[in-house]
Amino acid sequence: MFKRLLMTCAVAAAVSLPARCFADTITYISLMSGGGEVPPNASPATGTALYTLTGDMLTIDITFSGLIGGPASAAHIHCCASPGTNAPVWVPFDGFPNATSGTYTNTIDLSTFAFSDGGTEAALIAGMNNGSAYTNIHNAVFPGGEIRDQIIATPEPATLLLLGTGAAAAMSFVRRRLRV
């Protein structure tokens, strides 16, 4: 009995220790469409923005296609306003492709970045964590933006694994209790 209790405590302690490689990295996603614009438009264009924040380094990976309003003239992160409202530009994407479809990758150091409109690193990260920041791609026909979506944090793999393990254990416990 003591050996089983000791083993259970050891497993619980190991699971509760934070995994440093996951704790320092946060991943965000934004699935852009015309319906996400304010006001919404009927553009069939789509885009996916993946953001990876490790320390002060923000890596931006965007894929977009089907812009009908002409080549992209600008793209950036807007912050910080409630979903469904417009906010100022905080992080312009320098060198964004002047095309109707394409990809964009860049890494910026938020600790030295010159934010537009008086933004700060802490406020941007808070906006990305609470859903008040969004990605937007603009062009000539849609100067306010052709496609847009809020930026949302995605669960880290370790969290999903822990959640799945806990759910499986709970199901096993319930199944055993029902048999008795």
Q: Which domains does the chain have, with CATH numbers?
A: 29-152 (2.60.40)
Q: What is residue 156's predicted lDDT score, i.e. its pLDDT?
A: 61
SS (H, E, C) 142-158: CCCCCEEEECEEECCHH
**Amino acid of residue 37:** E
| pLDDT tens per residue across span 111-130 | 999 998 889 999 999 999 99
Return the biggest CA–CA distance within the chain: 73
Q: What is residue 7's predicted lDDT score, i.e. its pLDDT?
A: 38
The set of residues, in sequence order, having a beta carbon less than 8 Å from that of 14 and lying 6+ positions away, is none
Confidence band, pLDDT 50/70/90 cuts, at residue 20: very low
Query: Region 8-32: what's the mean pLDDT?
Result: 60
3-state secondary structure of 67: coil
| pLDDT tens per residue across span 128-177 | 999 999 999 999 999 999 999 999 999 765 544 555 565 555 555 545 65
Q: Which residue has the tokens 């309003």?
A: 69
